Structure 1
Amino acid sequence: MTALALQVLLSKRQLGCFSPMDNSTARFILFPPSSFRINPSSDSAYDTPGRLYAQMAEFDRLTNQTKYKQTLKQFFALAESISPEFLNKMVSSVDYGLNYGYAAARAYTAYQDPDFLALAVTSWTSARRYTLSKEQAVSGTTDVKQFSLSTSCQGTTLTGGTYFSTDSNDTNLHSMASGFFLTVSALLAEATSNQTYLDAAIESANFIQSHLLNPSNTVMAFVSSKLSESCSIYTTAYSLDTGIFLEGLVILADITRNISTEALLRSTIVAVITDTSWQGLDGILSIGTDGGHYIVRALAALYERNTTSSDLREYIKEYIGVQYNAVLEHATSGDSNIYGLPWTGPPTTSFSSGNQTVAVSALLSGIQLLDNRTSSNSGGDPTSSAISAASTTTSQLSQKNNPTGAIVGGVVGGLAVFAVIIVGALLLRRRHRRGNHRPLVVDWRSSRTLTPFMATLFTASEIPREHRITGGKNARYPVPSRGDSSLSSRAVETNVAGRRLDVQIASATPHGAAAGPLNPLHIERREDMPTEELLRLLNERLLPRRWNDPGDELPPEYHEGRTT
């Protein structure tokens, strides 16, 4: 299923650049289904192709191949022909250009080709002009803006903040642009061991933490740098801004092994997976924008890099599995490889390049889960002793149904139609020299309470009595439900065609059921909280009804520790 997802993104009309692919993939690309219809001039903004390029490179990395390498070189050249150095008056949003820097850095990781590293450096250098240096923050001036800057906000320097736009009158240091600059800087630091990139990543992380991280540890949209605007902040926190910040922290923590960075990372993880406005009763991300792409991508990076405690890492594995299943079960249009948003459904029959790339992130994450499980089982990963029965069950399913191949099939299917659509869009934009500058996207908000699906961590005695379910035995990985929901009961019962991960969904409570507290974890920042206490609170927040049957096997006790 996953290989077909890439194909649907890449195949739209005949292109000779796909010759490196195998016969079946090339045949699908050369002769795409006639049902796919789209206006390439209006379907996507400039950042969407960059997102696709990163996914193509990531697919090759995860499957240990180079099928898309030459194709990507052609695509990058086309993108840069439209917007030289990936940022100019035609493409003024800094984070749009940094999508290409991120993609090039991921391509360098996959292929170790210096051409991709050079492209990543080009994008980074363009964005660096719109990121405040220490000297600019102290002087209160920058040559790219026509106003005086605040030298500090709340007594803290603005060093490391990246502007939303190249417009000389844009005053906003933007969380998405700053988060992208953090992430690309960290990737370049990792690739080159150059202290310049590491310093830039640290400055960006410090800026976001100091000025845009709210008490709930989610990231607010932007802060004004204009002196006369007195550091005004747009306080709404968006999932995409928090997601890209989280990914940057994951990479930075892996490089530095700094205790403070790791503590901030842990706090942000918990904030993301417990935010009730981004996910619903069933644990599925209910975001109607591309925030799910950034959240899942960040958590998949964390899972692969193994930079947190084993129990929290196992929770993240289950969280990603729920999103993967949701894409297949709720967001897929029939038997096609067309995916919609939100992942809670219902699916749409119309193709959207943005929706498609968001879904492919979840499918790619499925490959990471399976590959990591295989390497852990064979290589003596220190986390193996802490893996729950969930992994055993998933492993048994993989032996019978070989889901890795199915997931790879789905990714290729989702990407195939999209890449050729992107080529058409970029060619058309180059012809007309039109930029598509969309404003900050607003998430679809929900008041539903998050109650995901963790299978292990704590004993039944730790679950408050008033929150225990008295009905029959739950499914193996239930999503206990609280609050008011119109969602129908749903369970992932069997592995169909080897596509599903071993995660199940339980039924929702009736309308009018009493909801628990919105988020007790948000009472204070949690950087200094021990992992054991953090997980205990997380468990109280998410699993008030996990153990309902005296015959249920109780999970192992948690022991403080960190895997390497």
Structure 2
Amino acid sequence: MIPSLPLIFSFLVLSPLLFVAPQEPSPSWSQWNITASRGDRISLAQAAIQEAISQLNPSTAQYADPADNYRLAGHIFSQLAEFDSATNQTQFAQDLQQFFNLSQNTLESLGITNFTGPTYVFLITFIDNGLSYGHAAAIAYTTYNNPVFLQYAVQAWWAARNYTLYPDNIDAGTFPAKNFPLSASCAGISMAGGTFESRDPADPSINVFATGGFLVLSGLLAEATGDADYLQAATQSADFIHAHLFNIENLVLDTISGRANDSCAINSILSSYNSGLLIEGLSVLYSITQNATILDLIGEIATTAISTAAWQGANGIITNNATNTGDIYLPRGLTAAYTRNAATPGLKSYIEAYLGVQYNAVINTARIGTTNIYGPSWTSPSPSGSFDPGSQANAIQALISTINLVNSSSTSSPPSPSQTTTASQSTTTPPVPRKSRSPIGAIVGAVIAAVALIGVCVGLILFIRHRRRRRADRSSHMSSAATRGSVVTFEPFSPHTTSRTTASDPPLPLSPRRKVRNPPRSPTTEISSGSTTTGPTVSQSGTSRRSQLGTEELLALLYRRMDNVEPEAGDRPPPYPT
């Protein structure tokens, strides 16, 4: 029924707005605005990086006990290149090349001497150890355009590639580096694309650290070289994580078993680094393909990762629960989405605020005194001032991630009170975000526009009904007049009214948009001019008749036939000069 149309229309327009995921800083978040200028943020990040470099062993480019910290040195190398990329300089280019040479020599000191193929390059125990160096090399190649770094990245890619499941492995049911039968599929979906966590032949774990790291490295190499093999590998890794390690809450799980006898057992631990790796990899894929489906998926994962309580409290600071530490991967992934435009404007504003929370937590809480050393916790001050490479790498990532943020209060001069809060304000009360960047404002505007459009539709329906009633009245009036055989007189002319003809006059051609209510004129009908005092002579089938019309009626008839309209009863033609 017509009366239900406004309700249906309003539901169709408004229902999507009711399910829009929140992309607004939570009122309970800690301070999210950044009051430091971009130059100050660069200086803080650079000082933290220099501290990390100073702690490296000058002979091995590693930290103490490299068997445990080999991966962490790779993270620092990535951050050197990321810093130069963010600041558009080459400050650490020579240092990085030297660090890579020294790191390869470290493999020999750990007893890994087989370099005849790429399998063991940059690998110790876990696949992600080598992938951290691959990530660093790929970022360095993009930043400095030095082919030496591309060679390192390709070697690391092959090392992980040889522990990644491909369709031929699935068909064979076995994997050369593992001593157990493979699961061909889980829940009917192929296991192709998963990367094993460990070089241990008996370890069946396929986790996001390895698969997500391979996804990111494959995407970076595809972006840098245009090679379709890298792009295919990245796509398969992303498909694997989304199919097997992605829950209904848009969060990324940790591990799944690739062994046939384990019935696809999953370790469902939730950590920020898993979602961060997937966001980063998808952001690189989107920058290559511009696939709208990937963009939507990034939005779902990032929005959930920012708002979930799985690894952060109500203050919005990353804690990863039991470990109470920050994270390198989620800030890095969100930064990739932000800088590569793999996020909608609303999500970019949300990312800005969230990264601002982490930045302020790092400099206000994790930083140890006035030093450039940072502790593991971003929510409570560290009791000691000792250097830890993992904690330092996490903090550096939070600092680098904010260098190029377009934050409402990130200015080179002190922010005004209307733009931001001052340092003396409580960090538990976030400032009011700018209206121009608020997604809520856009939603409210959309709702108002929808309501206005509904009103227009209702008005149009009422107008159509009114027009139908008027037409019905006119038809009744015309039938009555024709029955009486009288001539219908004109009513005062209105350009918005429909027309009507007399019973004795031949019908006039109507506009194609209007329904023809009278039969067409006979082909034999002929209209000839007549005396201006007695009216026109109308001949039909050779027989003439004269209509006795006054001057006023004559003008009305001429007006009707010239303009192809049928004025209503009482209409009068426009005045003519005497």
TM-score (norm 2): 0.62
> Which residue of the partner structure matches residue 387 of structure 1?
none
Give the Cα separation in 2 of the matches to 1:132 and 1:17.
Answer: 33
Note if contact 1:57-1:68 (Cα within 8 Å) is conserved in structure 2: yes
Residue pair 2:56, 2:63 contacting (<8 A) in 1 also: no
Pair 227,118 (structure 1): closer, same or farther in 2 beyond 3 Å: same
Instruction: Give the distance between the partners of 1:233 and 1:45, measured in 2 at CA.
Output: 27
Gaps of 5+ in 1: 19-37, 374-389, 402-473, 478-491, 496-502, 508-542, 548-552
- Counterpart mapping for 1:465-484 below 5 A: none
Q: Summarize the Cα distance change of 1:204–1:554 in structure 2 as closer, same or farther, 3 Å threshold.
A: closer
8 Å contact kept, 1:139–1:151: no
1:358: which partner in 2?
394
Equivalent pair of 1:80/1:86 in contact (CA under 8 Å) = no
Residue aligning to 2:423: 494
Between the aligned partners of 2:126 and 2:67, the Cα distance in structure 1 is 18
Any stretches of 5+ residues in structure 2 without a counterpart? 1-43, 108-114, 447-578
Aligned length: 385
SS at match of 1:52: helix
Q: Which amino acid aligns with 2:428?
A: A
8 Å CA contact 2:119, 2:158 repeated in 1: no
- Structure 1 residue 125: deviation in Å? 0.4
1:130 aligns with 2:163: yes
- Provide the residue aligned with 1:217 in structure 2: 250
Residue 298 of structure 1: how far off its partner (Å)? 0.7
Query: Kindly tell me: are residues 159 and 555 of structure 1, through their superposed partners in 2, closer, same or farther at Cα, counting changes over 3 Å?
Result: closer
Task: Please state how far the C-alpha of 1:138 moved relative to its aligned partner.
Answer: 2.3
- Post-superposition offset of 1:3: 2.1
Contact preservation (8 Å) 2:60, 2:103 = no
After superposition, the Cα gap between the structure-2 partners of 1:289 and 1:91, relative to the gap in structure 1 and judged at 3 Å, is farther
Q: Which residue of structure 2 aligns with residue 97 of structure 1?
A: 130
> Could you say which residue in structure 1 is the equivalent of 2:80?
56
Q: Which residue of 2 aligns with 1:557?
A: 442
Distance 1:39 1:13, change over 3 A: closer
Aligned to 1:10: 53
Deviation for aligned residue 1:400:
4.8
Does residue 275 of the first structure (1) align with residue 308 of the second (2)? yes
> Per-residue deviation at 1:314?
0.9
Match of 1:339 in 2: 374
Tell me if structure 2 keeps the 8 A contact 1:216–1:271: yes
Residues 88 and 358 (structure 1 numbering): CA distance in 2 closer, same or farther, change over 3 Å? same
C-alpha distance in structure 1 between counterparts of 2:235 and 2:189, whole Å: 15
> Where does residue 428 of structure 2 map in the other structure?
506
Alpha-carbon distance in structure 1 between the residues aligned to 2:258 and 2:216: 22
Q: Does 1:152 align with 2:185?
A: yes
Deviations 1:198-226 (A, max 9, x none): 00000000000000111111111111111
Deviations 1:473-507 (A, max 9, x none): x9977xxxxxxxxxxxxxx6239xxxxxxx97335
Q: Secondary structure at the match of 1:223?
A: strand
- Equivalent-residue separation in structure 2 for 1:242 and 1:554 (angstroms): 23
Q: Structure 1 residue 349 and structure 2 residue 234: aligned?
A: no
Q: Percent same amino acid at aligned positions?
A: 37
CA distance in 2 between partners of 1:554 and 1:101 (Å): 37
Aligned residues: CA RMSD: 3.1
Q: CA–CA distance in 1 between the matches of 2:331 and 2:45?
A: 16
Judging changes above 3 Å, is the alpha-carbon distance between structure 1 residues 137 and 323 closer, same or farther for their aligned structure 2 residues? same
Which residue of 356, 377, 397 corresponds with 1:321? Answer: 356
Q: Which amino acid aligns with 2:64?
A: P
Q: Which amino acid aligns with 1:505?
A: T
* 1:239–1:291 CA contact under 8 A, matched in 2: no
Please tell me whether the aligned partners of residues 290 and 354 of structure 1 are also in contact (alpha carbons under 8 angstroms): no
Given the superposition, is the C-alpha separation of residues 289 and 90 from structure 1 closer, same or farther in structure 2, using an over 3 Å criterion? farther
Alignment pair present for 1:299 and 2:343: no
Aligned mates of 1:193, 1:39 — CA distance in 2: 35
Identify which of 398, 423, 437 aligns with 2:412.
Answer: 398
Q: Aligned to 2:348, what secondary structure does the other structure show?
A: helix
Aligned to 2:483: none
3-state DSSP of counterpart to 1:296? helix
Higher relative contact order (CA 8 A, sep 6+): 1
SS at match of 2:69: coil
How far apart, CA to CA, are the structure 2 residues paired with 1:13 and 1:157?
Answer: 43
Secondary structure of 2:403's counterpart equals helix
Which residue matches 2:296?
263
- Check conservation: 2:63, 2:69, Cα contact below 8 A: no
What letter corresponds to residue 266 of structure 1 in structure 2?
A: G
1:300 and 1:368 in contact (8 A); partners too: no
Aligned to 2:69: 45
Q: Is the 8 A contact 2:318 2:325 kept in 1?
A: no
Amino acid at match of 2:412: S
Q: Structure 1, residues 406-429: CA drift from partner, whole Å, max 9, x if none?
A: xxxxxxxxxxxxxxxxxxxxxxxx
Aligned partner of 1:253 in structure 2 is 286
Query: Alignment partner of 2:269: what SS?
Result: strand
Q: Which residue of 2 aligns with 1:76?
A: 100
Deviations 1:332-383 (A, max 9, x none): 11110110122112134121011001000011112121xxx4xxxxxxxxxx
Q: What is the letter of the counterpart of residue 305 of structure 1? A: R
TM, length-normalised to structure 1: 0.63
Tell me the equivalent position of 1:514: none
The offset of 1:40, in angstroms, is: 1.9
- What is the correspondence of 1:103-142 to structure 2 with a 5 Å cutoff? 103-142=136-175
AA aligned opposite 1:241: N
Question: Does the 8 Å contact 1:201/1:252 carry over to 2?
Answer: yes
Q: Tell me if the contact between 2:277 and 2:329 (Cα under 8 Å) persists in the aligned partners.
A: yes
In structure 2, C-alpha distance between the alignment counterparts of 1:297 and 1:39, rounded to whole Å: 22
Query: Any conservation in 2 of the 1:240–1:291 contact (CA below 8 Å)?
Result: no
Shift of 1:9: 0.9
Larger radius of gyration: 2
C-alpha contact (below 8 Å) 2:326/2:377 kept by paired residues: no
* Residue identity matched to 1:56: L
Distance between the aligned counterparts of 2:64 and 2:228, measured in 1?
41
8 Å CA contact 1:321–1:366 kept in 2: the answer is yes
Cα separation, 2, equivalents of 1:225 and 1:318? 39
CA spacing shift, 1:4–1:286, aligned 2, 3 Å: same
Distance 1:331 1:80, change over 3 A: same
Question: What secondary structure does 2:250 align onto?
Answer: coil
Q: Deviations over 1:99-152 (max 9, x none)?
A: 000000010111011110110000000100000011112221121111111111
Q: Give the superposition deviation at 1:2.
A: 2.5
What per-residue deviation string (whole Å, max 9, x for no partner) do you get for residues 157-197 of structure 1?
00100001011111111111000000000000000010000
User: Matched residues in 2 for 1:217 and 1:238: separation?
Assistant: 13
Shift of residue 7 of structure 1? 1.5
Counterparts in 2 of 1:70 and 1:42: CA distance versus 1, 3 Å: closer
Instruction: Give the match's secondary structure for 1:398.
Output: coil
Deviations 1:270-308 (A, max 9, x none): 121011021112221123466621000111111111122
- Provide the C-alpha distance between the structure 2 equivalents of 1:88 and 1:265, rounded to a whole number of angstroms: 32
2-structure distance, mates of 1:102, 1:159: 22
Q: How far apart, CA to CA, are the structure 2 residues paired with 1:138 and 1:254?
A: 32
